[in-house]
Every structure is written in C-alpha cells, then in structure tokens.
Amino acid sequence: MSEKLKFAVIGGGSWATAIAKMLCVNQPEIAWYMRNDAAIEHIQKYKHNPNYLSSVEFDTQKLKLTNNINEAIEYADYVIFAIPSAFLDAELKNLTVSLADKIIFSAIKGIVPETSLIVGEHFHIQYDIPYYNIGVITGPCHAEEVALERLSYLTIACGDPEKASVVAKSLSGNYIKAKISDDIIGTEYAAMLKNIYAIAAGIAHGLGYGDNFQSVMMSNGIREMKKFIRKVHKMKRNINDSAYLGDLLVTGYSVFSRNRMFGNMIGKGYTVKSAMMEMSMVAEGYYATKSAYKLNQGYGAKTPIIDAVYSILYEGKDAKSVFKKLTESLD
C-alpha cells in the first residue's frame, strides 16, 4: 500500500535529512522541501546535505527537491513535518494549497510558541485537520545514529492504526524498527517534555553534579512526565515504554542531544542568548519549558524539575542556587 502513496518531507535539518534517508529506502520518489537554495543545489550536485548529516549519500533520482513548500505539499499524500517548532507557524503562513486532504505526520519535538500547542493540536485546531489524519513520529532515535546506520527504534502514533502502519512500513529498514501506537497526544507531549528534562540533565552536568544525581533526576523526571501527561490526556499507557522512558533517557544522556548541550552551557554560566549563539542550532526544550510551565498553571501537576528549569531560563535565577533547592525535592 505504501508504495502507491507519495511522501513529502518538510524541513532541511538533521531530522528531515534522516527521515528522507529512511523514506528513500522504500519509496521510488519523495518530495523534499527546504528553504536553503544553496543546500538544494549542493544535494543535487554532490548527493549529500552540506549542513546536516553530511555522511548520508542520496540517490538524487529519488528526490524531488524544492524550495516551494506548496509544491512539496501538493505532490504528497503523506506530509512529514520535521522543522523546529519555533519556525512552524511562519512556514505554514506561506501555504496557498489546502491541507484538508493530506495526512500530516509530525517529527517535531516541541510546542508551537504562537499557540502554545503541541504540533498535532496545532494542526487540528488551526487547520481543522481531523485527528485520524494526524500522526506523530517519535523515538528513542537520534538522527545522527540513523546517519551511521546504527540500530534504532521509532514509535509511530496515530488515531488511525492503518495510517500509522503505512508510515511505520515506509520508515522501516535493516537498521530501523518501527512500531505503532494510538497515544498520539501522550507520545507528542512526552517528546516535548523530555527535552526539558534533558536541559535539566545538562545544567546538572555543567554545575558539576555526577551520574548518581543525574540518574535520580531522570527517575524523578519520568514520574513527573507521567503526572503531567495524565493531566493533559488521561488514557491507559505504560510510561516505561520506549516512546516515553526510552526517548527521555536517550535525550538526557546522549552526546548528540542538543538540549543536554544547551543545558550544560547554562550550567557552566552561559546566558541563554550566548548559549544559543554558540550552538547555532535550536534547542526545542527552551521553548517547551515556557509552554509546559504555563500550561501546568492550569493543570496543577507537581513538576519541580520543569519549575526549576523555567526559573533559570525565564526568570534569570542562579542555576547553582535553584539546583541546590531542587535536590531537596527529589527522591
């Protein structure tokens, strides 16, 4: 079934590149939208993305590269968005074609700042896309390890299991195993929240806390995530599944984690602005922290780690003092 369907990837970063790589294994052609004209020309000439995962070599005969988002979306039945959440709203404002007949999957791990919604909710509320036409692609899976063809696992969540299976089959390969889930809201919130806990882990490391403390914080983090998600969307789920706990662990500990890297710099004394400039990449957890904190003002879940990260990033409080206090609330 998936061979007859057309896919488009929206985004030019590492996750978009990894997803394009996975799709090219199983699809005869995919549309790939990115804004960077120079990157498109480079891929066409040299067969790899010059800016992200440059070791990945593409069969350019399989790529319909374009800098026009409308052209890519018009081409496809399934549209996979893989751009930073902070830029999603601006990109969507360029649309002149309808999304009404498209099946939308998000590989974005964050909150849309303009609406304070996770991506699936944003498409549902702002564009009237029914939930059975919206899905989520989540980990635990780093794009860098996909590039290295290391065994990785994906969870594909959608209200329609048949559509989830189509995407799972299209992304699967020798080193990619994909399973499906019906917890579209929970998996997407987990993908957003784990970035906040990764920032916390990075701050702890930057402050000089060791593995012992960080393991306790991750243990508290998964319980905090469970409480938060239960408030948002109560259903039967196992928070220890890889889509929740596994994704949290890989993001909290991996050397590839940009959110942990961002937190580490904050712990070492960088300002938010200087850390962002130094990284030259988007740390989704920065935006997620504010949204999660504000949302929880209504939900009332006990979230000391989110509160601590928020106070450091948005209230300018001293990281060392905040974490000293945080250590008293963890167990």
Give the tens place of pLDDT for each residue, 313-323.
Answer: 999 999 999 99
What's the pLDDT score for residue 235?
86
> In Å, how far from its chain's centre is CA 294?
20
> In Å, how far from its chain's centre is CA 111?
9
152 close to 177: Cβ distance less than 8 angstroms? yes
Measured distance CA(206)–CA(261) in Å, rounded: 9
Binding residues for substrate: 109, 258-259
Tell me what the mean pLDDT of segment 40-62 comes to: 95
Written as six digits, the tokens of 309 are 């990260």
What's the pLDDT score for residue 26?
93
Q: Which CATH number fits the domain 186-326, given the four candidates 1.10.1040.10, 2.40.37.10, 3.20.20.370, 1.10.287.3510?
A: 1.10.1040.10
Binding residues for NAD(+): 87, 143, 258
Q: Residue 25 pLDDT more than 60?
A: yes
Give the tens place of pLDDT for each residue, 258-287.
Answer: 999 999 999 999 999 999 888 877 788 999
Q: CATH fold of 2-182, please?
A: Rossmann fold (3.40.50)
> In Å, how far from its chain's centre is CA 47?
25
Q: State the sign of the Cα–Cα–Cα–Cα dihedral 314, 317, 318, 323.
A: negative
Please, where in the chain does CATH 1.10.1040.10 lie?
186-326
Give the tens place of pLDDT for each residue, 206-250.
Answer: 999 999 999 999 999 999 999 999 998 888 898 999 999 999 999
SS3 8: strand
Q: What is the mean pLDDT of the chain?
A: 94
Catalytically annotated residues? 194
Percentage of residues in the chain having pLDDT higher than 90: 88
Task: For residue 101, give the nearest of 30, 2, 5, 172 by alpha carbon.
Answer: 5
Poorest-pLDDT segment among 123-132, 228-237, 305-314, 322-331: 228-237
What's the pLDDT score for residue 1?
42
What's the pLDDT score for residue 310?
98
